Amino acid sequence: MKFDVIIGLEVHAQLQTNTKIFCGCATDFTPDSPNVRTCPVCLGLPGALPVLNQRAFELAVIAALGLRCQIAPFTKWDRKQYFYPDLPKGYQISQYDLPFSFSGLVEIPADPAVAGEENALRQVRIIRAHLEDDAGKNVHDESGRGSDSQVDLNRAGTPLVEIVTEPDLRSAREARLLLEEIRLLLLYLGVSDCNMQEGNLRCDANINLHIHHDSGLTTKTPIVEIKNLNSFRFLEQACEYEIDRQLKTYGTMTEIHDRTKRTYGFDPARGITFEQRSKEEAADYRYFPDPDLVPVTVTREQVAHWETLVPERPQDRRRRYHSAMGLTPYDASVIIEQGRPFADFFENIVAHGADPKQAANWLTQDIQRILNERKCGINEFPVPAELVGLILAKVSEKSLTLKAAREALDLLVERSEEQSVSAATLDQIIQERGLAIVQDDSLLKEIIQKVIEKNPKPVADYLGGKPAAAGSLLGQVMREARGADPQVVKGLVTAALDALKFADS
- Please name which of 297, 305, 299, 304 lies closest in space to residue 75, comparing C-alpha atoms: 297
The predicted pLDDT at position 484 comes to 67
Q: For the chain, what is the total number of helices (H) and then of strands (E)?
A: 18, 17
The predicted pLDDT at position 170 comes to 98
The predicted pLDDT at position 495 comes to 81
Does position 56 have pLDDT exceeding 90, yes or no? yes
Query: 377 and 371 in contact (C-beta within 8 Å)?
Result: yes
Segment 190-218 mean pLDDT: 95
Segment holding 224, helix H or strand E: strand 224-229
Does position 278 have pLDDT exceeding 80, yes or no? no
Segment 301-309 mean pLDDT: 97
Low-confidence winner among 100-104, 128-132, 398-402, 500-504 (lowest mean pLDDT)? 500-504
Domains identified in the chain and CATH numbers: 8-206+281-297 (no CATH), 326-433 (no CATH), 441-504 (1.10.10.410)
Low-confidence winner among 8-12, 133-137, 356-360, 400-404 (lowest mean pLDDT)? 400-404
Does position 477 have pLDDT exceeding 80, yes or no? no
Query: 261 and 242 in contact (C-beta within 8 Å)?
Result: no
More confident position, 324 or 450: 324
Contacts of 441 (CB under 8 A, 6+ apart): 488, 492
The predicted pLDDT at position 505 comes to 54
Terminal-residue alpha carbon distance, the chain: 78
Segment 447-473 mean pLDDT: 80
**How many CA atoms lie within 13 Å of 103's alpha carbon, on the beta-carbon side?**
4
Does position 351 have pLDDT exceeding 90, yes or no? yes
- Please name which of 396, 306, 323 lies closest in space to residue 359, comparing C-alpha atoms: 396
DSSP 258-280: ----EEEEEETTTTEEEEEEEPP
Q: What is the DSSP letter of 147?
A: P
The predicted pLDDT at position 205 comes to 98
Low-confidence winner among 299-313, 407-421, 456-470 (lowest mean pLDDT)? 456-470
Residue count (the chain): 505
**How many CA atoms lie within 13 Å of 34's alpha carbon, on the beta-carbon side?**
9
Segment 144-171 mean pLDDT: 91
Q: How confident is the model at residue 144 (pLDDT cuts 50, 70, 90)?
A: low
From residue 235, give the alpha-carbon distance in Å to each of 86, 137, 402: 24, 20, 43
The predicted pLDDT at position 293 comes to 97
Looking at every residue in the chain, the average pLDDT score rounds to 91
Mind listing the pLDDT tens digit for each residue in 380-391? 999 999 999 999
Contacts of 483 (CB under 8 A, 6+ apart): 400, 401, 404, 434, 435, 436, 437, 438
Buried b (16+ CB within 10 A) or exposed e, 362-372: bbbebbeeebe
The predicted pLDDT at position 233 comes to 97
Amino acid 208 reads: N
Phi then psi dihedrals of residue 241, to 5 deg: -65, -40
Q: How confident is the model at residue 483 (pLDDT cuts 50, 70, 90)?
A: low
